[in-house]
Amino acid sequence: MELLRLSKAVKCLGVHPVTLRFWADSGKISVTWIGRERRFSSIDVEALKVSTGGECVRLEGLYVRVCGSSGQESSLEAQEKELRATSTGEVVKVFRDRSSGLREDRPGLSRLLRAVADGSVTVVRVTHEDRLARFGVGWLKHLLSVYGANLEVLHPKKLGGRDELLEDFGSLVTAFAGRLYGMRSAENRRRLLAESGQCGERAA
């Protein structure tokens, strides 16, 4: 019998290190501690490999979002509670954002995608699709699939609140208006500079 390091044991089993740690913590496989390092019996690893038949534990990342920066904590808690109540795997972490679903630079979403990329989350779960994003959910699904993760929506057809949708629409209009204003400002600066040059030439 050989005592295998975590890295070698996961290679034999074909699972992510987080999965093997979860199995060890739940008593699915015995662990021998050498100092602060886990070691696994080669016999137990082979037995587990046969019994699981390639089974992979669900490593769930729960994503909850509200549009406002404050005052909607109860909605975040309600989303998390519902997702936890329907969980069928291990909830690795809850990722939270207080931001419009139109924004791409959401800290919680960025952390979630990093967790998917490193394999510590294999299933992303949301109460409604628009919690993840207002637009481009199909692209996010494709990105998740590249890393072998799935998106699960608890209520696929139910939309978000009317007030938040109107606020998102306002954010969209504001963003485009800001860009248009910036373009016009640049044009005005160029026009003023050209006129200034013409005035100088006439004065000369």
Q: Give the mean model confidence (pLDDT) for residues 184-198.
A: 69
Its pTM surpasses 0.75: no
Say if residue 204's pLDDT is above 50: no
Q: Give the mean model confidence (pLDDT) for residues 89-117.
A: 91
Say if residue 101's pLDDT is above 90: no
Within-domain flag for 115: yes
Residues 33 and 92 occupy one common structural domain: no
pLDDT of residue 44: 92
Within-domain flag for 182: no
Choose one of 153, 169, 189: the last residue of a domain: 153
pLDDT of residue 82: 95
Query: Confidence band (pLDDT; 50, 70, 90) for 157?
Result: low
Within-domain flag for 165: no
Which range marks the domain in which residue 11 is found?
3-52
Query: Confidence band (pLDDT; 50, 70, 90) for 109?
Result: very high
Top-confidence residue, 73 or 66? 66
Upper half-sphere CA count for residue 195 (Cβ side, 13 Å): 6
Residues 15 and 80 occupy one common structural domain: no
Residues 77 and 148 occupy one common structural domain: yes
Residues 83 and 149 occupy one common structural domain: yes
Within-domain flag for 63: yes
Say if residue 58's pLDDT is above 50: yes
Residues 63 and 134 occupy one common structural domain: yes
Say if residue 158's pLDDT is above 70: no
Q: Give the mean model confidence (pLDDT) for residues 157-162.
A: 57
Q: Which CATH number do you get for residue 91?
A: 3.40.50.1390
Q: Dump strand ranges (E) for 59-160.
A: 59-66, 90-98, 123-126, 150-153
pLDDT tens profile 18-54: 778 888 888 889 999 999 899 999 999 988 877 665 5
Q: Which residues of 72-98 are buried (b: 16+ CB within 10 A; e: fewer)?
A: eeebbeebbebbeeeeeebbbbbbbbb
Say if residue 120's pLDDT is above 70: yes
Top-confidence residue, 195 or 35? 35
Average pLDDT value over all residues in the chain: 81
How many domains, the chain?
2
Cα four-point dihedral sign 27, 32, 37, 40? negative
pLDDT of residue 203: 47
Residues 107 and 36 occupy one common structural domain: no
